[in-house]
Amino acid sequence: MQRHGPVHALPDEIRKMSRDQTVCKYCGVSYLILHEFKVMEEKIKAMEKEIKFYEGSIEREKGLQEELQSLYQDLERCRADGESKTERITSLTMELKNKQDELKNVKEDLRYFQEEKEAAHKQSQVLRSTLEHHCSTLSRAVCLFPFIRRELESIKEVVSSNLESWAALKEDIFQQIRTVSKEALTEIPKLNQKLAKSQRENECLQEKVKHLTLVADTVELKNQQLQTSLQQVSELQSRCHELQKETLDLTNQVETAEHKLQKVTAEMDHYRKLLMVKSAELDVCQSELKKMKNENGISESRLAKELKEKEESLLICQQVCKRLQEEVAEKERREGDLRRRASQSESELETLKALLTQTEEEVVMLKQERELMLISHQNRTEQLQETLRQKMRNEDNWREKVEIDLAKGEARHKEAILKVKEEARVELDTERQKQQELITKYQRDHEELQKKIPELISSATDSLRMEAEILEKKLQDVQTKLAKKDEEKEKEIQSLKRLITELEFQLKVEQNNNKSLLDNMRKEIKHKSDELEELAQERTRLMHSLSQVQEENTLLQETVRRECEERYELTAALTQAREQVLQLRKLSGNLPLSPRSPAQGSVTSLRADYGHGSRPGRGRAVHPSGHVGVPRAVQAPAVRPCSVTLPALRGRDTTGRRRQRSQL
């Protein structure tokens, strides 16, 4: 737009004229419109600035369209994730069916093992009855020995009374004694062999019973694991249904957001920054949650390993107790006491097992809660996998240290178990050697008695008494040793009970800590969800305000467009007026005029134009000559060269402003 300044300055007479003379009485437009031109130029500059400001709206709209495309891509990704999750659900259902079939097979195996267990129990009862029968026969054989001695004494009396018949009957008596001793010797090893066989069979049956109990325990554990897996699958199905509902809700929200995102402007950047800050805070909280979960998992694994070690130590103690029971079973006098003690120890072990099962159930419940928390936070933790991988790399060194400590502890436990086994073996070997020495002594004594029956009857009685005393002393020593071992076992059982109570207390403390942490995290999550809802409400409010601002912007653009059209028309009218002024100057260049005549002529021309050209044709009028007429505000100062005016501008500005106010 070219700027046309005044060519000639106004004379002093015109400058000194009053306002009544320089302003039209009818329309109120001043003839000296240079100041008004300057005001209009300032307004035009302001409008150009506004146009420049609104030029950047196209780029913003392009950015919003790009964001819309990215949201469409996210929608497609969500749909692909939903399809993959449905496929995963189908695979999980297939796995569920397979696991149910495995459960049925395991139940059938359980029934089979229970039947085998009952058969083994019956066999053990039969063997116990045979053992009791053999023990009764041995006791009867032992009772026959004093009867034989009495018979020998009677034979001595008969020999003293019948010295004459002694020589004839001497050889017969010796032969009978030899046959009896041979029969006794043959019967003793047979009975010993039968005893050994029965003991071996008893040991085999006890080992079978142990194996069956272990198998039953493993089957029960498998049942529990399968039940937990079934619960997990049901929870996964429910979670998948919820996810499907959430995907539908998200699709609806995205469709609504597509309509809303078209109205977003520069203020969205500020709120995006706020959302990024809140998301960073959420990421920090989720990382802390993940750390706590990892610590809980490590503590649970450590406690499970300790429980397994304690179970192994308990099994070893059970084996040692059973071996001691077998050793005591060989000694007939202390069978009842040892059985009572064994029953007491078994009852205590059963109580310990019950406590261990309770702790295992609590651990299973904790695992279930942990899995539920993992499932609930799975969608949120997918975004944090990369950061967690880096943290896990840092934690691998710590895990290796823990594994080294666990390996050292296991090695120590194994060394202690080996020491206990070696001590038990040494004790068994010593007792076996003692028994073998006693058997050899008995055999030697028996041979000597066979050789020297008549001479060593009295010495045999003395030796038997001495041996009985020695055996009583040995039995007392064995009883003291057994009492010491029982005390040691009781101490070990008490220590194990204390350890179990301590572990239970630690578990309770950790459970309470975990519960408190979970409550705190839930409160924080609720607080953050409330903040997110508030932000969403603010976003909707801003969207509404944005829509209003855009409507106002469109109205302003329309008004600016109209004013620009009017300005273009005014500039055209000004150029035509200047051409007419130049023509008039050429025509009236030689005529002498008084200084007052131009003003009077302008007033008369204004009146004439006002009477003829009052038709509003955007400031123009058509004359009979065919030329386009200039508005009266422009034609008025035709004689004065520097007083080119636009009197209709004020009226048009006021009308445009009134229209804007009415539309707003």
User: pLDDT (tens digit, 9 = 90+) per residue, 36-87?
Assistant: 666 677 878 887 787 777 676 677 777 777 887 888 787 788 778 878 877 8
Report the chain's C-alpha Rg in angstroms: 58
pLDDT given for residue 496 in this prediction: 74
pLDDT given for residue 388 in this prediction: 58
Under a CB-based contact definition with an 8 Å cutoff, are residues 179 and 115 in contact?
no
User: pLDDT (tens digit, 9 = 90+) per residue, 348-387?
Assistant: 767 777 777 777 787 778 777 767 766 765 666 566 667 6
User: pLDDT (tens digit, 9 = 90+) per residue, 302-328?
Assistant: 777 777 776 776 677 667 767 766 766
- The three-class DSSP label of residue 662 is helix
The secondary element (H helix, E strand) that includes residue 590 is none
210 vs 181, residue with greater confidence: 210
pLDDT given for residue 628 in this prediction: 37
Task: Map out the domains of the chain as residue ranges.
Answer: 12-55+565-663, 77-247
pLDDT given for residue 321 in this prediction: 62
Under a CB-based contact definition with an 8 Å cutoff, are residues 632 and 609 in contact?
yes
Which of the four pLDDT bands, split at 50, 70 and 90, describes residue 593? very low
Tell me which DSSP letter residue 636 carries: T
Under a CB-based contact definition with an 8 Å cutoff, are residues 35 and 22 in contact?
no
Residue 360, C-beta contacts closer than 8 angstroms, at least 6 positions apart: 307
204 vs 399, residue with greater confidence: 204
User: pLDDT (tens digit, 9 = 90+) per residue, 12-39?
Assistant: 766 777 777 776 666 666 666 655 666 6
- Please identify which residue in the block is written with the tokens 């749909």: 79
Which of the four pLDDT bands, split at 50, 70 and 90, describes residue 651? low
pLDDT given for residue 342 in this prediction: 62
Closest CA to 656 of 575, 563, 571: 563
Instruction: Evaluate the CA torsion angle 153, 156, 160, 161 in order and state its sign.
Output: positive
Above 50 in pLDDT, residue 234? yes
Query: How far is the C-alpha of 338 from the C-alpha of 321, rounded, in Å?
Result: 10
Phi, psi of 261 (to 5 degrees): -70, -20
Of 3-17, 40-54, 103-117, 324-338, the one with minimum mean pLDDT is 3-17
> Rounded mean pLDDT of the chain?
69
544 vs 273, residue with greater confidence: 544
User: pLDDT (tens digit, 9 = 90+) per residue, 177-189?
Assistant: 677 667 767 777 7
Contacts 24+ apart (CB under 8 A), 217-222: 219/106, 219/109, 219/110, 219/113, 222/106
310 vs 126, residue with greater confidence: 126
Closest CA to 275 of 528, 522, 527, 543: 528
115 vs 268, residue with greater confidence: 115
pLDDT given for residue 335 in this prediction: 64
pLDDT given for residue 652 in this prediction: 52
Above 80 in pLDDT, residue 572? yes
Contacts 24+ apart (CB under 8 A), 231-240: 231/368, 232/371, 233/92, 233/93, 233/95, 233/96, 235/371, 235/372, 235/375, 236/89, 236/92, 236/375, 237/89, 237/92, 239/375, 240/85, 240/86, 240/89
The secondary element (H helix, E strand) that includes residue 513 is helix 457-587
Average of pLDDT values for 591-606?
40
Average of pLDDT values for 192-197?
74
pLDDT given for residue 655 in this prediction: 56
Average of pLDDT values for 408-423?
75
Which of the four pLDDT bands, split at 50, 70 and 90, describes residue 635? very low
Of 326-335, 343-352, 427-436, 563-572, the one with minimum mean pLDDT is 326-335
Above 80 in pLDDT, residue 395? no
Above 50 in pLDDT, residue 9? yes
Above 80 in pLDDT, residue 664? no
pLDDT above 70: percentage of residues in the chain: 60
Above 60 in pLDDT, residue 592? no
Which of the four pLDDT bands, split at 50, 70 and 90, describes residue 444? confident
Cα distances from 579 to residues 198, 495, 583, 609, 627, in angstroms, run 143, 121, 6, 18, 13
Under a CB-based contact definition with an 8 Å cutoff, are residues 602 and 31 in contact?
yes
Query: How far is the C-alpha of 129 from the C-alpha of 476, rounded, in Å?
Result: 28
pLDDT given for residue 383 in this prediction: 67
Of 217-221, 341-345, 550-554, the one with minimum mean pLDDT is 341-345
pLDDT given for residue 399 in this prediction: 64
> Which of 210-214, 332-336, 371-375, 562-566 tops mean pLDDT?
562-566
Q: Copy the structure tokens of residue 335.
A: 């069978």
Above 70 in pLDDT, residue 394? no
Query: How far is the C-alpha of 157 from the C-alpha of 162, rounded, in Å?
Result: 8
pLDDT above 90: percentage of residues in the chain: 0
